Structure 1
Amino acid sequence: MDDPELARTLASHASSGVLSTLSKDPAGFPFGSVAALAVDATGSPLLRLSDLAEHSRNLAADPRASVLVTEAGEGDPLALARVTLLGTARVLDGAERDAAHEVYRAVHPNGVYSDFHDFRTYRLDVTAVRYVGGFARMSWVSAEDYAAAAPDPLFPYRAQIAGHMNDDHGDSLVAFCRTLADLPGTTRARMLDVDRHGFGISSDASDEPVRIEFDEECRTPDAVRAAMVALVRRLP
């Protein structure tokens, strides 16, 4: 996937992030705080913020803000993906607010504090996106490209799929590397990640991961299973 798709996928599955605003007092300093969020169909973060919170006071004085979302994982945090969404925050009212509440409650059904009378619903209208995919992969993504990108539907299942392949079908992964990735010296291989277009594998015969594409786009785990069977049938 390209960087707009990767950024949109990471943001769309986030339930919290770091909200950065411009401090009102002391004036002008970056002010970061953890915030619960949901992302709507356009990729815009939705937040329920108390009027009593420091970040709400800051937004009332200057609506410019950003939201940082990071990939969950272990090990070096700098090796994990993250996306920063920059934009202008505004309070939603009427039909916009009602629609945003439905999206937010689907992500935070037990967010009781957000029902208090002093909470308002904000949307960050994204104007620019910075995507970092770990070491040596980073780019600025335009708001237009970000909004047009489609989140990857396999994102919630990728750990499950990779775990199943590594635990139960390691021989197939070795065969994929030997035949489909032209690494005949492979004796050990592990699936690293998977998306609707294909998957990455580490091979002990290569210093770099290899990429194998599906014949057709896979949008469900069942589709991935069928695609893997099709790949196995291509092996000699």
Structure 2
Amino acid sequence: MSEPTQSRPTEPDDAERARTLLAATSSALLSTIALDPPGTPFGSVVAHAGDDAGRPLLCLSDLAEHSRNLAADGRASLLVTDVGVGDPLDRARATLLGVVTRLDGAAAAAALERYRAAHPHAGFTGFHDFRMYRLDVTAVRFVGGFARMSWVDAAAYAAARPDPLLAHRDGILDHMNSDHADALVDISRVLGGQPDAESALMTGVDRYGFDVHVTGPGGAGATARIPFGATADTPGEVRDALVRMARHARPVEE
């Protein structure tokens, strides 16, 4: 007997969302414990990359205040936030807590390679006073917007993976909204629980499904989450899932 559809994930969990957010961003707020005034939280903007376990990699100058702070006390946090539009308090963000250590030898070389791949124009990485650091994550606080928040433990965060559609997300949204607006309306009516939808805009997509904002009679708006039913890890798999959904929502008449 096949697995019931309702038992499959319909959206990413918060560990996946946090991993995706780190992968989607290139800068963050690093908070360290200041030497002067002693014990004061000190925030600074840094550029980051990530390793396979989602640990942030930083290239920091010996002359920076945060580097001096970390040399005395490695405890720190890194805040990454969605750069979307609208109310900033309704955007996703994640605070990664842990201990920052300076890397040496092969570990530093591997981290530098990843950092340069993420920041190919960062010429300062070759300067003699810049070193590679890594934040070893002990916990994550994820906030998905108003009334959505959770603590994610380090093991769950490390085991999760960024959404495989991240690099293709904007292209999928543009294509569906520009070329298949009618199909989105049909799918929203039949599969999204929005029978009165008159227009639909795809606002998000991931390997489990997609989000739409629909407009109904009189301009009334609503949002819906519509799962694919099976994971779609590539643009081709997303296309196949959406074609199946569109056919189901609007069967070809005999």
TM-score with structure 1 setting the length:
0.95
Q: Tell me if 1:217 matches 2:226.
A: no
Over the aligned positions, Cα root-mean-square deviation in angstroms equals: 1.4
Q: Mark the runs of 5 or more structure 2 residues left unpaired by the alignment.
A: 1-11
Q: Which moved more, 1:97-106 or 1:49-58?
A: 97-106
- Report the Cα offset of residue 204 of structure 1: 2.5
Question: What is the match of residue 243 of structure 2?
Answer: 229
CA distance in structure 2 between the partners assigned to 1:203 and 1:108 by the alignment: 38
Partner deviation per Cα, 1:29-84 (whole Å, 9 max, x = no partner) = 11111111101101000001111100000001110011111111122111111111
How many percent identity over aligned positions?
A: 57
CA distance in structure 1 between the partners assigned to 2:196 and 2:120 by the alignment: 51
- Report the Cα offset of residue 97 of structure 1: 1.0
How many aligned positions are there? 236
- Report the Cα offset of residue 12 of structure 1: 2.0
- Report the Cα offset of residue 157 of structure 1: 2.1
Question: What is the match of residue 118 of structure 1?
Answer: 129
Segments of 4+ moved more than 6 angstroms: none
Tell me if structure 2 keeps the 8 A contact 1:14–1:39: no
Partner amino acid, structure 2, of 1:139: S
- Report the Cα offset of residue 194 of structure 1: 0.3
Equivalences for residues 32-47 of structure 1 within 5 A: 32-47=43-58
Question: What is the match of residue 146 of structure 2?
Answer: 135
Equivalences for residues 46-195 of structure 1 within 5 A: 46-195=57-206
CA distance in structure 2 between the partners assigned to 1:227 and 1:45 by the alignment: 34
Question: What is the match of residue 15 of structure 1?
Answer: 26
- Report the Cα offset of residue 183 of structure 1: 2.4
CA distance in structure 2 between the partners assigned to 1:110 and 1:180 by the alignment: 45
Q: Secondary structure at the match of 1:234?
A: helix
Partner amino acid, structure 2, of 1:29: T
Tell me if structure 2 keeps the 8 A contact 1:186–1:203: yes
Q: Structure 1 residues 99, 142: CA separation in 2 closer, same or farther (over 3 Å shift)?
A: same
Tell me if structure 1 keeps the 8 A contact 2:193–2:224: no
Q: Which moved more, 1:219-228 or 1:64-73?
A: 219-228
CA distance in structure 1 between the partners assigned to 2:207 and 2:14 by the alignment: 15
